[in-house]
């Protein structure tokens, strides 16, 4: 089953559009784990266990592991995810992008070492920088399109001579010439609902991964309505991971995930 089908099945089974982002920051762990980078796996595994029937997918952010030299804990976490939630796809948020021979190495890292089901990627280096990832059967790729940060507009919202904005051109390529094996999706920030609608117009069937709700302030329901007509996954990280800074962090994360899941499900009806 390829990533797109896997995601659809998981979403239907859980009535959920919610992706739980795993951005573990030891400074925000509950006592007595606070500040302990050896507890990254333990913290994330508890979050996974508490939310695996609510999240349609998980998205570990590799930077939070790499900053602490915790690649081994990420490997263990990926194995834990496959064990306790084998039908929940995992998007490795890595945003690498490089030319041919180097992209092959990054694809190997994501799909062989970590056995992710999908990755995020920057489109700036063009099609041949994403092609090595597509050689892995069934794996999904989310290309950065219109990101949720304020500086996202610096380049992405530049108008092209052809009359469209740069991010619309990325969406057009991802929906057309680049999408030979129908496993591409796009990252579009929840902070820009009107831009989500513009992306949806040129990419009517592509899965949209929407970060930026919760801690980043985006309106989740507006984002989902703007993306109507095709698959949508809405990511929330900090608002779930750090719903409580105390020993009840896991049940608190579950409750935050449940509320967000229900909110998202309503906005689809």
Q: Which residues would be at the binding site for a copy of itself (CB under 8 A)?
A: 23, 25, 61, 63-64, 66-67, 69, 71, 75, 95-103, 105-106, 108-109, 112-113, 122-129, 131, 144, 147-156, 158-163, 166, 169-170, 173
Quick one: 158 or 228, whose CB is closer to a copy of itself?
158
* β-pairing verdict for 118-121 and 140-146: parallel
| Cβ 100 to a copy of itself shortest distance, Å | 6
| Cβ 74 to a copy of itself shortest distance, Å | 10
Quick one: 42 or 71, whose CB is closer to a copy of itself?
71
| Cβ 28 to a copy of itself shortest distance, Å | 11
Radius of gyration of the chain (CA): 18
CA distance 117 to 1: 11
Q: Could you tell me if 188 and 142 are in contact, meaning their C-beta atoms sit under 8 angstroms apart? A: no
| Cβ 203 to a copy of itself shortest distance, Å | 16
Question: Strands of 57-60's sheet, edge to edge?
Answer: 57-60, 18-22, 232-236, 208-210, 184-188, 140-146, 118-121, 91-96
Q: Tell me the backbone φ, ψ of residue 119, rounded to 5 degrees.
A: -135, 165
Quick one: 85 or 190, whose CB is closer to a copy of itself?
190
Q: What is the DSSP letter of 213?
A: B
Quick one: 6 or 120, whose CB is closer to a copy of itself?
120
* Residue 201, CA distances (Å) to 115, 205, 229, 233 in order: 33, 9, 10, 17
| Partners of 28 in beta bridges | none
How many residues are given for the chain? Answer: 269
| Partners of 210 in beta bridges | 234
Please tell me which residue in 52, 59, 95, 139 is annotated as part of the active site.
Answer: 95
Quick one: 123 or 193, whose CB is closer to a copy of itself?
123
CA 208 to chain centre: 9
| Cβ 197 to a copy of itself shortest distance, Å | 21
Quick one: 85 or 239, whose CB is closer to a copy of itself?
239
Is 95 catalytic? The answer is yes
Give the tokens for residue 162: 């052809």
| Cβ 265 to a copy of itself shortest distance, Å | 27
CA distance 137 to 85: 21
Catalytic residues: 95
């Amino acid at each position: 089953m390829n990533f797109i089908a896997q995601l659809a099945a998981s979403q239907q089974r859980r009535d959920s559009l919610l992706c739980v982002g795993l951005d573990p920051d030891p400074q925000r762990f509950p006592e007595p784990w606070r500040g302990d980078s050896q507890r990254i796996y333990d913290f994330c595994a508890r979050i996974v266990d508490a939310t695996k029937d609510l999240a349609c997918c998980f998205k570990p952010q590799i930077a939070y592991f790499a900053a602490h030299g915790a690649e081994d804990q990420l490997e263990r976490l990926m194995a834990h995810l496959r064990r306790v939630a084998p039908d929940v796809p995992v998007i490795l948020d890595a945003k690498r992008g490089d030319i041919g021979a180097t992209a092959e190495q990054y694809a190997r890292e994501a799909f062989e070492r970590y056995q992710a089901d999908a990755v995020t990627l920057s489109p700036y280096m063009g099609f041949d920088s994403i092609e090595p990832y597509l050689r892995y059967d069934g794996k999904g790729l989310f290309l950065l399109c219109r990101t949720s940060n304020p500086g996202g507009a610096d380049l992405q919202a530049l108008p092209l001579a052809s009359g469209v904005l740069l991010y619309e051109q990325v969406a057009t390529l991802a929906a057309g010439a680049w999408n030979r094996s129908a496993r591409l999706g796009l990252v579009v920030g929840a902070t820009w609902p009107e831009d989500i609608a513009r992306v949806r117009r040129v990419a009517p069937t592509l899965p949209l991964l929407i970060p930026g709700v919760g801690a980043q302030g985006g309106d989740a329901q507006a984002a989902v309505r703007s993306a109507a007509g095709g698959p949508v996954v809405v990511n929330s990280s900090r608002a779930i991971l750090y719903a409580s800074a105390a020993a009840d962090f896991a049940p608190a994360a579950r409750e935050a995930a449940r509320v967000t899941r229900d909110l998202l499900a309503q906005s689809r009806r």
